[in-house]
């Protein structure tokens, strides 16, 4: 693809306003997921499209998982943590309503396990992601959902199974369990104990909003990264 000079809000502008062209299906995803090109005037980029029409029915989540993808992005942005790539909701995509997320260029051979073992410089970001996943109640943090871009930034993707009111945390990130949460991160999350950002609250239900606030309140009372005494809170497959 041709590189273009960045413009203000380039990612969100392309995602929200760009013409969407299907390029192909991304294999090995539980739900139908597509690589698309979004283009606006003389600019273009890749994005990941998750249509509601491609979601498999679940007993514990209502249809519309793509809304949770957007909610996770908004939560990440509210915290200024930059964990979730830019994500919007579009109703005019080729297969109907769904989420569009900025495509992260990364080495497909890298994932959480390889980063933890071989790239200690990523540990701070990985521990922060563990905290984010607890707050968002992520049910599906597989190793392959952790990416590092060419600039070294660590991203988390696939947040369709987040924000449940019941505690459903399942993740591969347990290497930091019990570590104290830095004061700066506690300051970041403390407003969530009283109120969840409107954009997030509009995308999940009231019980899920209350549960998120309670999880943050628990962290403020006991400021350590989550611990799994059962040893069972892992997603499958792990990668």
* Tens-digit pLDDT profile for residues 9-36: 899 999 999 999 999 999 888 899 999 9
Q: Residues of 31-55 as b/e, b for ≥16 C-beta within 10 angstroms?
A: bbbbebbbebeebbbebbbbbbebb
- Asked whether the predicted pLDDT for residue 134 surpasses 70, the reply is yes
Let me know how long the chain is.
239
32-71 pLDDT, tens digit each: 999 999 999 999 999 999 999 999 999 999 999 999 999 9
Q: How far apart are CA 197 and CA 80, in angstroms?
A: 13
Cis peptide preceding 237, ω within 30 of 0: yes
140-164 pLDDT, tens digit each: 999 999 999 999 999 999 999 999 9
What average pLDDT does the segment 85-100 reach?
Answer: 98
Alpha helix ranges (H) inside the chain: 10-17, 65-79, 112-118, 123-136, 183-189, 198-201, 206-221
Q: What local confidence, expressed as pLDDT, does residue 23 receive?
A: 97
- Asked whether the predicted pLDDT for residue 8 surpasses 60, the reply is no
């Amino acid at each position: 693809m041709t590189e273009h000079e960045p413009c203000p809000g380039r990612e969100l502008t392309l995602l929200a306003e760009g013409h969407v062209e299907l390029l192909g299906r991304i294999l090995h995803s539980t739900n139908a997921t597509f690589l698309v090109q979004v283009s606006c005037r003389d600019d273009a980029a890749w994005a990941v499209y998750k249509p509601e029409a491609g979601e498999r029915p679940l007993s514990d989540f209502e249809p519309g998982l793509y809304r949770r993808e957007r909610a996770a992005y908004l939560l990440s942005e509210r915290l200024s943590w930059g964990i979730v790539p830019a994500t919007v909701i579009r109703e005019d995509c080729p297969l109907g309503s769904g989420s569009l997320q900025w495509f992260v260029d990364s080495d497909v051979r890298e994932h959480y396990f390889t980063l933890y073992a071989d790239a200690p410089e990523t540990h701070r970001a990985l521990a922060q992601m563990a905290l984010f996943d607890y707050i968002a109640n992520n049910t599906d943090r597989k190793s392959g959902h952790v990416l590092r871009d060419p600039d070294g930034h660590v991203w988390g993707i696939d947040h369709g199974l987040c924000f449940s009111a019941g505690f459903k945390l399942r993740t591969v990130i347990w290497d930091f369990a019990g570590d104290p949460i830095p004061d700066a991160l506690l300051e970041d999350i403390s407003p969530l104990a009283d109120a969840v950002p409107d954009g997030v609250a509009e995308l999940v239900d009231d019980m899920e909003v209350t549960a998120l606030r309670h999880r943050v309140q628990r962290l403020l009372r006991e400021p350590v990264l989550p611990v799994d005494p059962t040893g069972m809170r892992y997603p499958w497959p792990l990668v």
